Amino acid sequence: MKLRTPLIIIFLIAVFSIKIQAQEGITQLRITAGIDEGISKMQIEMNTSLLLTAMSVGIIDGSIPDTSGIDISKEAAQTLFSMWQSTSEMICPISTVERKCLHRLQGGYQVRDIPVSMLAAPEDDRDHNLVINYTKDGKIDDIFVAIENSRIDQILLNNISVEDFSRRMKILDFVEQFRTAYNIKDLNHIKKVFSNNALIITGKVIVEKPNSDQVLQNIGKEKIVYQTQTKQEYVTKLEGIFANNKYINIEFEDIEVITHPKYNEIYGVTLKQKWNTSNYSDVGYLFLMIDFKDDDNPLIHVRTWQPDKYNGKELAREERFHIGSFGKLNR
């Protein structure tokens, strides 16, 4: 039994080398830390390398990446195809990616920050990073676009219990999957994560008509006007946006996570959102109130959006929606 595992690994290495060498545009993943040498590590490296190489071949051939020889779930493959359709082409710009492997609390593994260029995007909006989840055996289980990385360690360090740490890990996955759903126009995922009674608030800046005192200045004064929507109203509007825009890319930055002072299963997540589509772009503050009453199926009870600036100034922190802005929850 002791001799069998090394033989399997040697066999996998040989198969992996043959597959990779048979293709143009080779890209390889090398795991540098986080997982012991063994079959799972080998499978993660092999499946990811084949996936990234298939993306390169797809661009060379003008075709959809061929995942038939990759150990990947149907859901992850569908996400890849949806990304491909929404960005037209996506390629890893380097030949060798060296990354650490993370252990997921719910089981399996994760590799973050795999660089890709989305070639159909505007030139200043092409560079992104993928996150890939794997089963304990190294099968690709999920793919999504990473959020900005600088605050992730701080978010995880602010936990107050093992349960809180686990939920913060899930929040990062949740937010990245949420972002990816918009990028690939996955309306079903968006419907699933909003509660039926969700409160959705959007703000827009309008310019008030000058009054008699302002006429001499020849300017108006900006103010933010808020509109509330039901889940159905929001989804219907979003469906139209998806249909009318070939390209959609949402980026999240400056993420903050706060636990509700009364309900420890509810979290407030604030992000700076950059919204870019074929027809429209804006920047604003997004707030999500997420309920982990069912840990496996978290729900958004509140979503708000506010412009980042008005009257020429950044929206002050005390003016932004937060977890204390909402009283009794309708769960």
pLDDT per position as a tens digit, 133-153? 999 999 999 999 887 665 666
Measured between alpha carbons, how far is 39 from 268 in angstroms, rounded to an integer? 39
Which CATH number does 4-146 carry?
3.10.450
* Residue 265: DSSP 8-state: T
Is the model more confident about 109 or about 261? 109
**Does residue 53 carry a pLDDT above 60?**
yes
**Does residue 10 carry a pLDDT above 60?**
no
> Which residues neighbour 113 within 8 Å (Cβ) at sequence distance 6 or greater?
99, 129, 131, 146, 149
Alpha helices in 217-329 (DSSP H): 231-244
Instruction: Specify the pLDDT at position 200.
Output: 95
Average pLDDT over residues 6-22: 48
Instruction: Specify the pLDDT at position 37.
Output: 86
Measured between alpha carbons, how far is 320 from 306 in angstroms, rounded to an integer? 7
Is the model more confident about 187 or about 255? 187
Measured between alpha carbons, how far is 158 from 104 in angstroms, rounded to an integer? 18
Mean pLDDT is lowest, of 64-68, 110-114, 298-302, 325-329, for 325-329
Measured between alpha carbons, how far is 219 from 150 in angstroms, rounded to an integer? 40
Helix (H) or strand (E) holding 86: helix 74-87
Average pLDDT over residues 177-199: 93
Q: What is the DSSP string of 22-49?
A: TSSS--EEEEEESS-SSHHHHHHHHHHH
pTM of the predicted model as reported, rounded to 2 decimal places: 0.77
Residues 113, 87: contact at Cβ < 8 Å? no
Measured between alpha carbons, how far is 247 from 122 in angstroms, rounded to an integer? 10
Instruction: Specify the pLDDT at position 104.
Output: 86
- Fold for 187-325, please state it: Nuclear Transport Factor 2; Chain: A, (3.10.450)
pLDDT band at 306 (very low <50, low <70, confident <90, very high): very high
pLDDT band at 204 (very low <50, low <70, confident <90, very high): confident
Measured between alpha carbons, how far is 296 from 160 in angstroms, rounded to an integer? 20
Instruction: Kindly tell me the number of DSSP H helices and DSSP E strands found in the chain.
Output: 8, 15
**Does residue 277 carry a pLDDT above 90?**
no
pLDDT band at 182 (very low <50, low <70, confident <90, very high): very high
In the chain, what are the domain boundaries?
A: 4-146, 187-325
Short-list 285, 323, 325, CA closest to 305: 285
pLDDT per position as a tens digit, 153-173? 666 666 556 667 777 888 888
* Residue 72: DSSP 8-state: B
Average pLDDT over residues 292-312: 89
pLDDT band at 109 (very low <50, low <70, confident <90, very high): very high
236's tokens: 């219907």
Measured between alpha carbons, how far is 171 from 209 in angstroms, rounded to an integer? 43
320's tokens: 């932004």
What is the distance, to the nearest Å, from the Cα of residue 189 to the centroid of all Cα atoms in its chain?
12
* Mean pLDDT (the chain, rounded): 82
